[in-house]
Structures are given as structure tokens and as C-alpha cells.
Amino acid sequence: MRLTHAILVSILMGWGQAEGLWAAEEAKNVDPQTGQSFEVPYILTQTNHFVVRAIINGKGPFHLVVDTGAPGLFLATEAAKKAGIANDPKKYFSTMDDLKLEGGPALKKLKIRVEDPFQLVGMNSLGLPGVKLDGLMGFSVLARYRITLDPTHKRMIWTRLDFNPKEATGDIPSIKKEDMPAELQAMNLLGPAMKFAAMFVGKQPEIKRVPQGFGGFSIGAANDDPKKLIVTQVLADSASAKAGLMQSDVILECDEKSVDSVSGFLKIFEKKSAGQTLKLQVRRKDANKTITITLEEGF
């Protein structure tokens, strides 16, 4: 009886140790940004595409279309060359080291398809979007976030989920052109055709982009008082961190104007461009402080 009890205890301890190891392994796989929310600036192009800017392998920025219909991440060959991504002709997918979106979201070791989708070739040839499009960002990236989009504001809210979609394998051979269905071959001809048409129609000039100011912090209403604005996050090494802004600071004034709502604060902030200053009056514990932030460009 004692022997049986000892065996049972030993088994239970073994299970406990195994569970501990599994939990430790799962903890290793959790993205450090899980649970964090980021304000990601976007551009609404002349063709009504939502476009965000990204640094890939430390190069860029590149303009990526937020495309919920795309299965993965696609980057044009010219952009891939700038980012130092080698395209293996024997494999369908390549791998990038890291992707950083303007506003803070960051991912590492993602599968990426290097090619020139006919949609991008055609629109870029005619200059229709107003900016040069470098790629499409689909499910393999978007599924990792809860994304809130309000077209009346200039930033999306991206919240990192504790979820990583199953990665596509990297050993799928590229499809030869002659093996493609006739419809797909016809669609791929649209890009060169639109390029040819641009010679006669003329390319539309790109929109002159004035970089909006980036402070590197986010705010929200306090739970106990909706008119009380608090700093919810300050990005390391950002303009706001360098100026001395801290998480949990209570914002009293913005550019010497009282603010009691997030929308009221954003009306002031959205008029600021890179290089301009934002003057905040904050309360920290029992003392009031004046903090002047020189806004930076996102990248």
C-alpha cells in the first residue's frame, strides 16, 4: 500500500514538473508586447486603401497596404532588395528578420512572399494611390492584433493578442508561369498593361507628405473620472520619454489649453507636425510639472 502511494506521489510530482516545463516553454513563446496597445498612423490613399509605414530589417520606411483579403505578407521585389531579403527561386516564401510598424508594433522572423502583385504594379505605374505602395500586409500579420479603425481619426489602435497564426511552410515551390491557370496569367498581364498605359495617360504626382508629429506616448480617460486624462504608455527612447513624461501622469493642459477628453486632446495634437513642440501641464503625485516635447517623425 505504501509502495503504491509512493508511486502515485512520484507520478504526480512528475506531472507537476512536466506542467512547469510546459508553462515555462509557453512563457518563452509569448511576445513581450502581448497586451500592449499602439497608436499606428495610417494614410488613406486616393484609391481608398489604408496604408501604414514599416521598417523592415532596419531599412525603409516602406508603405504597406492593410489588406484583410491577403493571406500573408507580400513585398515588392524592389523593396525586398532594399530590405536585404533574398528571394530563393526554389521556395515560395522568404524570411525577414524583423518588422516594425510606425507607432510601435514589432514582429520578428516572419514568412514573406517577394513578388510584384499586379495590383501594385498597375496602381504605382499610374500614380493612382498618391504614394508608392511597397507591399500588402495580410492575415499572417493582422491576425496577431485586435485592430480598431475609426476613419475620422488619423491613427488605428493595434493591440497585441496572445495568438500567433500558423505559419505557412517555406518549402512550397514557386509556380511556373506556364503552370498557372489562364485567368491568373491574364490578371498578371494587367500590371504591365497599366504600365504601358501610363506612358500615354501620364503618372499622377505623389502626394507631398508632411510628417505628422510623433510623441511616443498614449493617453486614456481614468476609470473613476472620464474627464481625467492620464498617460497610459510612454515608449522607451521616444521624444516624450526624453522630455520626462511618465506613465500615470495626469494631463491638465495641452499647449496652455485645458483638456478633459481624449478627442479634445487629439484635436490639438493632430495639427502638430514633426519638429514642432507640444507643451503639457501634468500632475505627478502632488506636484504640477510643465513638460515640453519636441515631436519627432515616426521613422
Q: Is residue 16 part of a domain?
A: no
Q: Residue 177: which CATH number? A: 2.40.70.10
Cα 208 to chain centroid distance, Å, stands at 22
One domain, residues 246 and 282: yes
Choose among 159, 145, 152: nearest CA to 42: 152
Domain assignment of residue 66, given as a range: 37-201
Mark whether 175 and 128 lie in a shared domain: yes
Q: Which residue among 201, 227, 250 closes a domain?
A: 201
Distances (CA, A) of 14 to 4, 8, 9, 225: 15, 10, 8, 50
- Scan for cell 501620364, then name that residue: 202
pLDDT on residue 25? 42
Out of 201, 225, 243, a domain closes at 201
The pLDDT tens digits of the residues spanning 145-201 come to: 999 998 888 889 999 999 988 765 555 555 555 555 554 444 454 445 444 444 444
Q: Among 201, 230, 255, give the residue marking a domain's end.
A: 201
Taking the model in full, what pTM does it have?
0.59
Residues 186 and 87 in one domain: yes
pLDDT band per the 50, 70, 90 thresholds, residue 244: very high
Q: How far apart are CA 118 and CA 103, in angstroms?
A: 29
Answer yes or no: are the C-beta atoms of 83 and 56 closer than 8 Å. Answer: yes
Q: Strand 229-234 to strand 250-254: parallel, antiparallel, or no bridges (unpaired)?
A: antiparallel
CATH of the domain at 256: 2.30.42.10
pLDDT value of residue 1: 44
**CA-closest candidate to residue 145, choices 31, 23, 262, 298:** 31
CA–CA dist 47, 22 (Å, integer): 48
Q: Is the pLDDT of residue 252 over 80?
A: yes
Structural domain tally of the chain?
2
Q: Is residue 6 a part of any domain in this protein?
A: no
Residues 55, 183, single domain; the answer is yes
Residues 267 and 119 in one domain: no
Query: Would 161 be classed as within a structural domain?
Result: yes
Q: What is the 3-state secondary structure (H, E, C) of 21-64?
A: HHHHHHHHHCCCCCCCEEEEECEECCCCCEEEEEEECCEEEEEE
> Of 83-87, 126-130, 145-149, which has the strongest mean pLDDT?
145-149
Portion of the chain with pLDDT greater than 70, in percent: 73
Is residue 74 one of the residues assigned to a domain?
yes
